Protein backbone atom coordinates (compact mmCIF):
# COMPACT_ATOMS: atom_id res chain seq x y z
CA UNK A 1 0.00 0.00 0.00
CA UNK A 2 1.70 3.18 -1.19
CA UNK A 3 1.33 6.37 0.83
CA UNK A 4 3.03 8.56 -1.77
CA UNK A 5 2.64 9.22 -5.46
CA UNK A 6 5.21 10.71 -7.81
CA UNK A 7 3.90 13.72 -9.72
CA UNK A 8 5.69 16.21 -11.91
CA UNK A 9 4.79 19.80 -12.72
CA UNK A 10 6.67 20.38 -15.99
CA UNK A 11 5.93 24.12 -16.17
CA UNK A 12 8.21 24.72 -13.19
CA UNK A 13 10.31 21.54 -13.37
CA UNK A 14 9.32 20.14 -9.97
CA UNK A 15 8.89 16.44 -9.20
CA UNK A 16 7.27 15.43 -5.91
CA UNK A 17 6.95 12.31 -3.84
CA UNK A 18 3.52 13.52 -2.87
CA UNK A 19 2.10 12.19 0.42
CA UNK A 20 -1.46 10.91 -0.03
CA UNK A 21 -2.04 9.44 3.43
CA UNK A 22 -3.63 11.01 6.48
CA UNK A 23 -1.04 12.74 8.68
CA UNK A 24 -1.49 11.47 12.25
CA UNK A 25 1.11 11.43 15.03
CA UNK A 26 3.82 12.62 12.61
CA UNK A 27 3.21 9.72 10.22
CA UNK A 28 1.32 9.29 6.96
CA UNK A 29 -1.22 6.49 7.25
CA UNK A 30 -4.01 5.00 5.16
CA UNK A 31 -7.59 5.63 6.21
CA UNK A 32 -9.30 2.92 8.24
CA UNK A 33 -11.72 2.03 5.45
CA UNK A 34 -9.28 2.63 2.57
CA UNK A 35 -11.52 5.21 0.88
CA UNK A 36 -9.93 7.89 -1.30
CA UNK A 37 -10.88 11.21 -2.88
CA UNK A 38 -9.85 12.33 -6.37
CA UNK A 39 -8.43 15.83 -6.68
CA UNK A 40 -8.81 17.64 -10.01
CA UNK A 41 -6.70 20.26 -11.77
CA UNK A 42 -9.26 23.05 -12.36
CA UNK A 43 -7.34 24.47 -15.32
CA UNK A 44 -7.62 21.19 -17.28
CA UNK A 45 -10.42 19.24 -15.62
CA UNK A 46 -8.02 16.30 -15.31
CA UNK A 47 -7.28 14.18 -12.25
CA UNK A 48 -4.06 14.97 -10.36
CA UNK A 49 -4.11 12.13 -7.84
CA UNK A 50 -6.23 10.42 -5.17
CA UNK A 51 -5.60 10.78 -1.44
CA UNK A 52 -6.98 8.89 1.53
CA UNK A 53 -10.19 10.24 3.09
CA UNK A 54 -10.62 10.20 6.86
CA UNK A 55 -13.46 8.21 8.36
CA UNK A 56 -15.00 8.82 11.79
CA UNK A 57 -12.59 6.23 13.19
CA UNK A 58 -9.61 8.14 11.72
CA UNK A 59 -10.84 11.42 13.23
CA UNK A 60 -11.02 9.73 16.63
CA UNK A 61 -7.49 8.37 16.18
CA UNK A 62 -6.19 11.86 15.32
CA UNK A 63 -7.96 13.45 18.31
CA UNK A 64 -6.44 10.84 20.64
CA UNK A 65 -2.98 11.59 19.22
CA UNK A 66 -3.54 15.31 19.73
CA UNK A 67 -4.80 14.78 23.29
CA UNK A 68 -1.80 12.64 24.21
CA UNK A 69 0.60 15.21 22.75
CA UNK A 70 -1.12 18.05 24.58
CA UNK A 71 -1.26 16.40 28.00
CA UNK A 72 2.19 14.85 27.99
CA UNK A 73 4.41 17.09 25.85
CA UNK A 74 3.08 20.29 24.32
CA UNK A 75 1.39 21.80 27.40
CA UNK A 76 4.61 21.26 29.37
CA UNK A 77 6.90 22.81 26.75
CA UNK A 78 8.11 26.36 27.50
CA UNK A 79 6.41 28.98 25.34
CA UNK A 80 9.77 30.22 24.10
CA UNK A 81 10.57 26.74 22.80
CA UNK A 82 7.27 26.59 20.92
CA UNK A 83 8.31 29.87 19.30
CA UNK A 84 11.68 28.43 18.28
CA UNK A 85 9.93 25.55 16.51
CA UNK A 86 7.70 27.98 14.62
CA UNK A 87 10.76 29.98 13.54
CA UNK A 88 12.29 26.75 12.18
CA UNK A 89 9.04 26.04 10.36
CA UNK A 90 9.09 29.50 8.76
CA UNK A 91 12.60 28.86 7.43
CA UNK A 92 11.53 25.54 5.93
CA UNK A 93 8.46 27.06 4.30
CA UNK A 94 10.68 29.75 2.81
CA UNK A 95 13.08 27.08 1.53
CA UNK A 96 10.21 25.21 -0.16
CA UNK A 97 8.21 28.29 -1.12
CA UNK A 98 8.25 27.65 -4.87
CA UNK A 99 7.28 23.99 -4.53
CA UNK A 100 4.40 24.74 -2.18
CA UNK A 101 3.14 27.53 -4.44
CA UNK A 102 3.28 25.24 -7.46
CA UNK A 103 1.09 22.67 -5.68
CA UNK A 104 -1.42 25.42 -4.90
CA UNK A 105 -1.46 26.40 -8.58
CA UNK A 106 -1.88 22.80 -9.71
CA UNK A 107 -4.63 21.94 -7.22
CA UNK A 108 -6.49 25.26 -6.78
CA UNK A 109 -5.84 26.99 -10.13
CA UNK A 110 -4.13 30.00 -8.58
CA UNK A 111 -1.95 31.98 -11.03
CA UNK A 112 1.54 30.96 -9.97
CA UNK A 113 3.38 34.24 -10.42
CA UNK A 114 0.74 36.76 -9.37
CA UNK A 115 -1.14 34.81 -6.70
CA UNK A 116 0.27 31.55 -5.32
CA UNK A 117 3.74 32.94 -4.60
CA UNK A 118 2.13 35.94 -2.88
CA UNK A 119 0.19 33.57 -0.61
CA UNK A 120 3.43 31.88 0.43
CA UNK A 121 5.07 35.23 1.20
CA UNK A 122 2.23 36.00 3.61
CA UNK A 123 2.45 32.55 5.18
CA UNK A 124 6.18 32.99 5.86
CA UNK A 125 5.59 36.43 7.40
CA UNK A 126 2.68 35.12 9.46
CA UNK A 127 4.64 32.13 10.77
CA UNK A 128 7.44 34.36 12.03
CA UNK A 129 4.92 36.75 13.56
CA UNK A 130 3.29 33.99 15.60
CA UNK A 131 6.68 32.48 16.45
CA UNK A 132 7.50 35.76 18.15
CA UNK A 133 4.13 35.89 19.89
CA UNK A 134 4.36 32.49 21.58
CA UNK A 135 5.82 33.89 24.81
CA UNK A 136 4.20 37.34 24.65
CA UNK A 137 0.46 37.18 23.94
CA UNK A 138 -0.46 34.62 26.59
CA UNK A 139 0.28 36.71 29.67
CA UNK A 140 -2.40 37.46 32.28
CA UNK A 141 -2.61 40.23 34.86
CA UNK A 142 -2.46 40.97 38.59
CA UNK A 143 -5.62 42.58 39.98
CA UNK A 144 -5.16 44.23 43.43
CA UNK A 145 -8.37 43.87 45.46
CA UNK A 146 -7.71 44.68 49.12
CA UNK A 147 -4.74 44.79 51.47
CA UNK A 148 -5.20 41.08 52.06
CA UNK A 149 -6.35 39.85 48.69
CA UNK A 150 -5.42 40.00 45.05
CA UNK A 151 -6.38 38.06 41.93
CA UNK A 152 -4.40 36.65 39.05
CA UNK A 153 -5.66 35.92 35.56
CA UNK A 154 -4.08 33.44 33.19
CA UNK A 155 -4.55 32.93 29.46
CA UNK A 156 -4.47 29.18 29.04
CA UNK A 157 -4.80 27.01 25.92
CA UNK A 158 -8.03 25.13 25.24
CA UNK A 159 -6.22 21.84 24.65
CA UNK A 160 -7.22 19.96 21.50
CA UNK A 161 -8.50 22.22 18.71
CA UNK A 162 -10.31 21.06 15.59
CA UNK A 163 -9.95 23.20 12.48
CA UNK A 164 -11.75 23.12 9.13
CA UNK A 165 -10.40 25.22 6.26
CA UNK A 166 -11.69 26.10 2.75
CA UNK A 167 -10.44 25.55 -0.76
CA UNK A 168 -9.93 29.15 -1.91
CA UNK A 169 -6.70 29.68 0.10
CA UNK A 170 -5.69 26.14 1.14
CA UNK A 171 -2.33 26.86 2.78
CA UNK A 172 -2.99 30.47 3.77
CA UNK A 173 -6.23 29.74 5.62
CA UNK A 174 -4.65 26.71 7.27
CA UNK A 175 -1.71 28.84 8.38
CA UNK A 176 -3.97 31.60 9.74
CA UNK A 177 -5.30 28.94 12.09
CA UNK A 178 -2.42 26.57 12.74
CA UNK A 179 0.40 28.94 13.64
CA UNK A 180 -1.49 31.09 16.16
CA UNK A 181 -3.11 28.04 17.70
CA UNK A 182 0.25 26.33 18.22
CA UNK A 183 1.79 29.52 19.61
CA UNK A 184 -1.01 29.60 22.21
CA UNK A 185 -0.09 26.06 23.29
CA UNK A 186 -2.83 23.92 21.76
CA UNK A 187 -2.57 20.78 19.65
CA UNK A 188 -4.49 20.48 16.38
CA UNK A 189 -6.57 18.19 14.20
CA UNK A 190 -7.21 20.01 10.92
CA UNK A 191 -9.39 19.05 7.97
CA UNK A 192 -8.47 20.69 4.66
CA UNK A 193 -11.07 21.05 1.91
CA UNK A 194 -11.63 17.80 0.03
CA UNK A 195 -10.72 19.35 -3.34
CA UNK A 196 -7.51 21.14 -2.20
CA UNK A 197 -5.78 18.89 0.34
CA UNK A 198 -2.46 18.03 -1.26
CA UNK A 199 -0.51 21.22 -0.46
CA UNK A 200 -1.22 20.94 3.28
CA UNK A 201 -0.45 17.21 3.24
CA UNK A 202 2.89 18.03 1.61
CA UNK A 203 3.63 20.84 4.09
CA UNK A 204 2.86 18.58 7.07
CA UNK A 205 6.25 16.88 6.70
CA UNK A 206 7.93 20.23 7.33
CA UNK A 207 6.52 20.17 10.87
CA UNK A 208 8.36 16.89 11.43
CA UNK A 209 11.55 18.32 9.96
CA UNK A 210 11.23 21.40 12.17
CA UNK A 211 11.05 19.18 15.26
CA UNK A 212 7.40 19.38 16.32
CA UNK A 213 6.55 16.41 18.58
CA UNK A 214 4.22 13.67 17.28
CA UNK A 215 0.53 14.46 17.64
CA UNK A 216 0.90 18.24 17.86
CA UNK A 217 -0.41 18.66 14.29
CA UNK A 218 -2.66 16.11 12.59
CA UNK A 219 -4.02 16.57 9.05
CA UNK A 220 -7.12 14.57 8.15
CA UNK A 221 -8.44 15.29 4.64
CA UNK A 222 -11.90 13.93 4.00
CA UNK A 223 -15.49 14.73 3.17
CA UNK A 224 -17.11 17.45 5.21
CA UNK A 225 -20.15 15.29 5.83
CA UNK A 226 -17.93 12.60 7.36
CA UNK A 227 -14.66 14.00 8.73
CA UNK A 228 -15.92 17.54 9.31
CA UNK A 229 -19.03 16.35 11.12
CA UNK A 230 -17.03 13.92 13.24
CA UNK A 231 -14.54 16.62 14.23
CA UNK A 232 -17.18 19.23 15.12
CA UNK A 233 -19.13 16.61 17.12
CA UNK A 234 -16.18 15.01 18.92
CA UNK A 235 -16.53 15.00 22.70
CA UNK A 236 -12.78 15.37 23.27
CA UNK A 237 -12.26 18.39 21.01
CA UNK A 238 -12.17 21.54 23.14
CA UNK A 239 -12.62 24.13 20.39
CA UNK A 240 -13.53 24.20 16.71
CA UNK A 241 -12.41 26.87 14.24
CA UNK A 242 -13.95 27.04 10.78
CA UNK A 243 -13.59 29.11 7.60
CA UNK A 244 -16.07 28.58 4.78
CA UNK A 245 -19.66 29.19 3.82
CA UNK A 246 -22.22 30.61 6.22
CA UNK A 247 -24.45 27.57 5.74
CA UNK A 248 -21.72 25.14 6.81
CA UNK A 249 -20.68 27.50 9.61
CA UNK A 250 -24.20 27.29 11.03
CA UNK A 251 -23.97 23.50 10.94
CA UNK A 252 -20.59 23.55 12.70
CA UNK A 253 -22.00 25.72 15.48
CA UNK A 254 -25.00 23.40 15.84
CA UNK A 255 -22.81 20.31 16.10
CA UNK A 256 -20.52 22.00 18.62
CA UNK A 257 -23.48 22.93 20.78
CA UNK A 258 -25.09 19.50 20.62
CA UNK A 259 -21.87 17.71 21.57
CA UNK A 260 -19.78 19.16 24.41
CA UNK A 261 -20.57 22.87 23.92
CA UNK A 262 -17.06 23.39 22.58
CA UNK A 263 -15.94 26.94 21.84
CA UNK A 264 -16.42 28.06 18.22
CA UNK A 265 -14.70 30.53 15.92
CA UNK A 266 -16.30 31.06 12.50
CA UNK A 267 -15.15 33.07 9.48
CA UNK A 268 -17.95 32.77 6.96
CA UNK A 269 -19.28 34.35 3.80
CA UNK A 270 -19.39 37.95 2.69
CA UNK A 271 -20.96 40.36 0.23
CA UNK A 272 -18.57 43.21 0.75
CA UNK A 273 -19.27 46.74 -0.53
CA UNK A 274 -16.79 49.15 -2.09
CA UNK A 275 -18.10 52.74 -2.02
CA UNK A 276 -16.51 55.34 -4.31
CA UNK A 277 -17.26 59.00 -3.65
CA UNK A 278 -16.81 61.67 -6.31
CA UNK A 279 -13.80 63.24 -4.57
CA UNK A 280 -11.85 59.95 -4.66
CA UNK A 281 -8.66 59.57 -6.65
CA UNK A 282 -10.45 57.71 -9.39
CA UNK A 283 -7.56 55.78 -10.94
CA UNK A 284 -6.55 54.56 -7.49
CA UNK A 285 -10.11 53.51 -6.71
CA UNK A 286 -10.53 51.67 -10.02
CA UNK A 287 -7.35 49.66 -9.50
CA UNK A 288 -8.13 48.68 -5.92
CA UNK A 289 -11.76 47.83 -6.63
CA UNK A 290 -10.90 45.69 -9.68
CA UNK A 291 -8.24 43.83 -7.74
CA UNK A 292 -10.66 43.45 -4.86
CA UNK A 293 -13.16 41.50 -6.96
CA UNK A 294 -11.07 39.68 -9.58
CA UNK A 295 -8.03 38.57 -7.56
CA UNK A 296 -8.13 34.80 -6.99
CA UNK A 297 -10.94 34.68 -9.57
CA UNK A 298 -13.27 36.38 -7.13
CA UNK A 299 -13.06 33.42 -4.76
CA UNK A 300 -12.56 35.59 -1.69
CA UNK A 301 -14.92 35.95 1.26
CA UNK A 302 -13.90 39.62 1.33
CA UNK A 303 -14.25 40.26 -2.41
CA UNK A 304 -15.80 43.70 -2.97
CA UNK A 305 -18.53 42.23 -5.11
CA UNK A 306 -20.94 45.16 -4.57
CA UNK A 307 -19.58 48.39 -6.01
CA UNK A 308 -21.37 51.69 -5.32
CA UNK A 309 -20.25 54.80 -7.21
CA UNK A 310 -21.48 58.36 -6.71
CA UNK A 311 -23.71 59.31 -9.62
CA UNK A 312 -21.60 62.34 -10.63
CA UNK A 313 -18.65 60.08 -11.58
CA UNK A 314 -20.53 56.87 -12.41
CA UNK A 315 -19.96 56.91 -16.19
CA UNK A 316 -16.32 57.93 -15.84
CA UNK A 317 -15.72 55.16 -13.31
CA UNK A 318 -17.27 52.55 -15.61
CA UNK A 319 -15.11 53.63 -18.54
CA UNK A 320 -11.90 53.47 -16.49
CA UNK A 321 -12.96 50.23 -14.79
CA UNK A 322 -13.65 48.56 -18.13
CA UNK A 323 -10.28 49.62 -19.56
CA UNK A 324 -8.34 48.57 -16.48
CA UNK A 325 -9.86 45.09 -16.47
CA UNK A 326 -9.17 44.54 -20.15
CA UNK A 327 -5.55 45.60 -19.68
CA UNK A 328 -4.82 43.71 -16.47
CA UNK A 329 -7.03 40.65 -16.03
CA UNK A 330 -6.30 37.86 -18.45
CA UNK A 331 -6.25 34.06 -18.64
CA UNK A 332 -2.88 34.32 -20.38
CA UNK A 333 -2.05 32.90 -23.79
CA UNK A 334 -2.26 29.20 -22.91
CA UNK A 335 -5.09 29.00 -20.34
CA UNK A 336 -2.36 27.90 -17.94
CA UNK A 337 -2.04 29.43 -14.45
CA UNK A 338 1.73 28.86 -14.65
CA UNK A 339 1.89 31.32 -17.58
CA UNK A 340 3.46 34.60 -16.42
CA UNK A 341 0.76 36.49 -18.32
CA UNK A 342 -2.04 34.73 -16.44
CA UNK A 343 -3.63 36.87 -13.73
CA UNK A 344 -7.07 35.25 -13.72
CA UNK A 345 -7.12 31.51 -13.11
CA UNK A 346 -10.00 29.05 -13.30
CA UNK A 347 -12.58 28.68 -10.55
CA UNK A 348 -12.08 25.69 -8.33
CA UNK A 349 -14.40 23.02 -9.73
CA UNK A 350 -17.05 22.07 -12.22
CA UNK A 351 -19.71 22.48 -9.52
CA UNK A 352 -18.53 26.01 -8.71
CA UNK A 353 -18.30 26.82 -12.42
CA UNK A 354 -21.93 25.79 -12.95
CA UNK A 355 -23.06 27.71 -9.87
CA UNK A 356 -21.42 30.94 -11.07
CA UNK A 357 -22.73 30.47 -14.61
CA UNK A 358 -26.23 30.07 -13.14
CA UNK A 359 -25.91 33.43 -11.37
CA UNK A 360 -24.66 35.13 -14.54
CA UNK A 361 -27.47 33.62 -16.61
CA UNK A 362 -30.03 34.61 -13.98
CA UNK A 363 -28.84 38.21 -13.97
CA UNK A 364 -28.83 38.52 -17.75
CA UNK A 365 -31.92 36.46 -18.61
CA UNK A 366 -34.23 36.53 -15.59
CA UNK A 367 -33.56 39.96 -14.14
CA UNK A 368 -32.62 41.49 -17.53
CA UNK A 369 -29.63 43.30 -16.02
CA UNK A 370 -26.98 44.99 -18.14
CA UNK A 371 -23.91 42.76 -18.09
CA UNK A 372 -20.43 42.96 -19.54
CA UNK A 373 -17.90 40.15 -19.96
CA UNK A 374 -14.46 41.55 -20.57
CA UNK A 375 -13.50 38.44 -22.52
CA UNK A 376 -15.27 35.32 -23.73
CA UNK A 377 -15.66 31.91 -22.09
CA UNK A 378 -12.87 29.71 -23.45
CA UNK A 379 -14.43 27.05 -25.65
CA UNK A 380 -11.32 24.93 -26.29
CA UNK A 381 -10.56 24.19 -22.66
CA UNK A 382 -11.83 21.55 -20.27
CA UNK A 383 -10.89 23.87 -17.41
CA UNK A 384 -13.27 26.01 -15.40
CA UNK A 385 -12.46 29.48 -16.71
CA UNK A 386 -14.92 32.35 -16.23
CA UNK A 387 -14.11 35.81 -17.66
CA UNK A 388 -14.24 38.93 -15.49
CA UNK A 389 -17.87 40.05 -15.50
CA UNK A 390 -19.89 42.91 -14.05
CA UNK A 391 -23.51 44.03 -14.05
CA UNK A 392 -24.47 47.72 -14.04
CA UNK A 393 -27.35 49.66 -12.50
CA UNK A 394 -28.19 46.71 -10.26
CA UNK A 395 -30.88 47.30 -7.60
CA UNK A 396 -30.15 46.26 -4.01
CA UNK A 397 -33.10 43.85 -4.16
CA UNK A 398 -31.43 41.81 -6.91
CA UNK A 399 -30.39 38.26 -6.12
CA UNK A 400 -26.95 39.21 -7.42
CA UNK A 401 -26.72 42.03 -4.87
CA UNK A 402 -27.77 39.88 -1.93
CA UNK A 403 -26.18 36.46 -2.45
CA UNK A 404 -22.51 35.52 -2.44
CA UNK A 405 -21.55 34.48 -5.98
CA UNK A 406 -17.93 33.65 -5.07
CA UNK A 407 -16.59 34.14 -8.57
CA UNK A 408 -15.22 36.91 -10.84
CA UNK A 409 -18.52 38.78 -11.00
CA UNK A 410 -19.48 42.17 -9.54
CA UNK A 411 -22.60 44.31 -9.39
CA UNK A 412 -22.29 48.07 -9.80
CA UNK A 413 -24.84 50.74 -8.87
CA UNK A 414 -24.90 54.50 -8.33
CA UNK A 415 -25.80 56.56 -5.26
CA UNK A 416 -26.62 60.23 -4.64
CA UNK A 417 -25.14 61.12 -1.24
CA UNK A 418 -23.54 59.70 1.90
CA UNK A 419 -26.82 58.66 3.51
CA UNK A 420 -27.83 56.59 0.51
CA UNK A 421 -24.35 55.12 0.20
CA UNK A 422 -24.20 53.84 3.77
CA UNK A 423 -27.75 52.50 3.53
CA UNK A 424 -26.87 50.52 0.41
CA UNK A 425 -23.57 49.31 1.87
CA UNK A 426 -25.27 47.98 5.01
CA UNK A 427 -28.16 46.35 3.14
CA UNK A 428 -26.86 42.79 3.48
CA UNK A 429 -26.96 39.87 5.90
CA UNK A 430 -23.17 39.77 5.81
CA UNK A 431 -20.57 41.98 7.44
CA UNK A 432 -17.09 40.67 6.74
CA UNK A 433 -15.34 43.56 5.00
CA UNK A 434 -15.87 46.88 3.23
CA UNK A 435 -13.97 49.61 1.40
CA UNK A 436 -14.46 53.36 0.99
CA UNK A 437 -12.73 55.74 -1.42
CA UNK A 438 -12.68 59.46 -0.69
CA UNK A 439 -10.19 62.25 -0.02
CA UNK A 440 -12.52 63.80 2.59
CA UNK A 441 -11.44 62.80 6.08
CA UNK A 442 -14.92 63.41 7.47
CA UNK A 443 -16.50 61.14 4.88
CA UNK A 444 -14.07 58.28 5.45
CA UNK A 445 -14.27 58.49 9.24
CA UNK A 446 -18.07 58.57 9.17
CA UNK A 447 -17.99 55.50 6.95
CA UNK A 448 -15.64 53.68 9.34
CA UNK A 449 -18.06 54.54 12.16
CA UNK A 450 -21.28 53.61 10.36
CA UNK A 451 -20.43 50.53 8.29
CA UNK A 452 -21.45 47.21 9.84
CA UNK A 453 -18.41 45.15 8.91
CA UNK A 454 -15.45 43.67 10.75
CA UNK A 455 -12.87 45.23 8.40
CA UNK A 456 -12.92 48.63 6.72
CA UNK A 457 -10.34 49.55 4.10
CA UNK A 458 -9.93 53.28 3.45
CA UNK A 459 -8.67 54.03 -0.06
CA UNK A 460 -7.65 50.41 -0.59
CA UNK A 461 -9.29 46.98 -0.67
CA UNK A 462 -8.37 43.44 0.33
CA UNK A 463 -4.93 44.31 1.63
CA UNK A 464 -5.16 42.63 5.03
CA UNK A 465 -2.17 42.71 7.36
CA UNK A 466 -1.18 39.74 9.49
CA UNK A 467 -0.81 41.93 12.60
CA UNK A 468 -4.39 43.28 12.40
CA UNK A 469 -7.41 41.32 13.71
CA UNK A 470 -9.76 39.94 11.06
CA UNK A 471 -13.33 38.67 11.31
CA UNK A 472 -16.95 39.42 10.56
CA UNK A 473 -20.17 40.97 11.80
CA UNK A 474 -23.65 39.49 11.38
CA UNK A 475 -23.71 36.23 9.36
CA UNK A 476 -20.05 36.60 8.39
CA UNK A 477 -18.83 34.94 11.52
CA UNK A 478 -17.91 34.82 15.18
CA UNK A 479 -14.51 35.72 16.63
CA UNK A 480 -11.30 37.12 15.17
CA UNK A 481 -8.08 35.80 13.65
CA UNK A 482 -4.64 37.33 12.95
CA UNK A 483 -2.77 39.81 15.11
CA UNK A 484 -2.92 39.37 18.86
CA UNK A 485 -6.42 37.95 18.33
CA UNK A 486 -4.86 35.08 16.38
CA UNK A 487 -3.44 33.81 19.67
CA UNK A 488 -6.20 35.04 22.00
CA UNK A 489 -8.77 33.11 19.97
CA UNK A 490 -7.06 29.92 21.12
CA UNK A 491 -6.83 30.77 24.82
CA UNK A 492 -9.38 30.99 27.62
CA UNK A 493 -9.13 32.99 30.83
CA UNK A 494 -8.57 31.40 34.21
CA UNK A 495 -8.84 33.50 37.39
CA UNK A 496 -7.22 32.79 40.74
CA UNK A 497 -8.21 34.53 44.01
CA UNK A 498 -5.24 34.83 46.39
CA UNK A 499 -6.29 35.40 50.00
CA UNK A 500 -3.63 36.46 52.55
CA UNK A 501 -5.97 37.11 55.48
CA UNK A 502 -6.82 34.68 58.27
CA UNK A 503 -10.41 33.44 58.48
CA UNK A 504 -12.38 35.24 61.20
Nearest-angstrom CA–CA distance, 208 and 110:
27
Q: 331 in a domain, yes or no?
A: yes
Same domain for 279 and 171? no
Q: 285 in a domain, yes or no?
A: yes
Sign of dihedral through CA atoms 286, 288, 294, 298? negative
Q: 3 in a domain, yes or no?
A: no
Residue 82 pLDDT grade (very low, low, confident, very high; cuts 50, 70, 90): very high
Q: What pLDDT is recorded for position 380?
A: 80
Q: What pLDDT is recorded for position 95?
A: 98
Q: 260 in a domain, yes or no?
A: yes
Q: What pLDDT is recorded for position 306?
A: 98
φ/ψ of residue 184, rounded to 5: -75, -15
Nearest-angstrom CA–CA distance, 283 and 489:
38
Half-sphere exposure of 43 (CA within 13 A, CB side): 22
Minimal CA–CA distance to 195: which of 353, 338, 337, 358?
353
Same domain for 297 and 191? no
Nearest-angstrom CA–CA distance, 450 and 422:
7
Same domain for 398 and 385? yes
Stretch 288-299: mean pLDDT = 98
Mean pLDDT of the chain: 97
Q: Is pLDDT of 375 > 90?
A: no
φ/ψ of residue 148, rounded to 5: -110, 10
pLDDT digits (tens, 9 = 90+) for 394-418: 999 999 999 999 999 999 999 999 9
Same domain for 248 and 317? no
Within 10 angstroms of residue 264's Cβ, the number of other Cβ atoms is: 20
Pick from 73-87, 377-391, 464-478, 487-501: least confident: 377-391
Q: 36 in a domain, yes or no?
A: no
Same domain for 240 and 338? no
Q: What pLDDT is recorded for position 204?
A: 98
pLDDT digits (tens, 9 = 90+) for 139-195: 899 999 999 999 999 999 999 999 999 999 999 999 999 999 999 999 999 999 999
Q: Which residues contact 225 (CB under 8 A, 6 or more apart)?
A: none
Q: 18 in a domain, yes or no?
A: no
Same domain for 323 and 217? no
Total tally of structural domains belonging to the chain: 2
Q: What pLDDT is recorded for position 170?
A: 98
- CATH at 457: 3.40.309.10
Minimal CA–CA distance to 269: which of 432, 128, 485?
432
Same domain for 461 and 326? yes
Nearest-angstrom CA–CA distance, 362 and 143:
60
Q: Give the whole-number percent of the chain exceeding pLDDT 70.
A: 100
Annotated catalytic residue 267? yes
Stretch 295-300: mean pLDDT = 97
CA angle in degrees (0–180, nearest 5) for 39-202-35: 45
Same domain for 92 and 235? yes
Among the listed residues 104, 267, 404, 481, the single catalytic one is 267
Q: Provide the residue range defining the domain that includes 198.
A: 54-268+478-493
Minimal CA–CA distance to 430: which of 469, 470, 463, 472?
472
3-class DSSP string for 195-239: CCCHHHHHHHHHHHHHCCCCCCEEECCCCHHHHHHHHHHCCCCCE
The answer to whether 157 and 186 have CB atoms below 8 angstroms apart is yes
Same domain for 257 and 280? no
The answer to whether 100 and 199 have CB atoms below 8 angstroms apart is yes
Q: Is pLDDT of 1 > 80?
A: no
The answer to whether 436 and 456 have CB atoms below 8 angstroms apart is yes
Q: 58 in a domain, yes or no?
A: yes
* Helix, coil or strand: residue 324: helix
Minimal CA–CA distance to 208: which of 221, 197, 218, 199?
218
Q: 193 in a domain, yes or no?
A: yes
Same domain for 288 and 192? no
Half-sphere exposure of 250 (CA within 13 A, CB side): 7
Same domain for 282 and 264? no
Q: What pLDDT is recorded for position 2?
A: 84
φ/ψ of residue 39, rounded to 5: -115, 140
Q: Is pLDDT of 496 > 80?
A: yes
Q: Which residues contact 72 (CB under 8 A, 6 or more apart)?
A: none
Q: What pLDDT is recorded for position 138?
A: 86
- CATH at 69: 3.40.605.10
Within 10 angstroms of residue 354's Cβ, the number of other Cβ atoms is: 11
Q: What pLDDT is recorded for position 11?
A: 96
Question: Helix 282-294 to helix 314-328 angle, to the nearest 10 degrees?
Answer: 50
Same domain for 438 and 304? yes
DSSP string, 114-137: IIIHHHHHHHHHHHHHHHHHTTTT
Amino acid sequence: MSLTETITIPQVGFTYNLPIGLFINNEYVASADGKKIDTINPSTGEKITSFYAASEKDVDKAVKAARNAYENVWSKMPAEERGFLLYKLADLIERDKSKLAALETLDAGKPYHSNALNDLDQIIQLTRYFAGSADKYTKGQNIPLTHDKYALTFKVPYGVVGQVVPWNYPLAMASWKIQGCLAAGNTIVIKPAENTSISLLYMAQLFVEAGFPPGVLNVIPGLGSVAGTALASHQDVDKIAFTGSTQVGQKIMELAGKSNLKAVTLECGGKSPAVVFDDAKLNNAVEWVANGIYYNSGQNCTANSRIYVQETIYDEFLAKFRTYIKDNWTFGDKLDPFDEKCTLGPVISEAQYKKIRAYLDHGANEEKLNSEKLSEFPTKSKGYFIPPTFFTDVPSSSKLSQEEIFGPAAVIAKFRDYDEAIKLANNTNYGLASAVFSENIRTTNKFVRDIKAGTVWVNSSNDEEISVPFGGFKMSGVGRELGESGVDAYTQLKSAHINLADYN
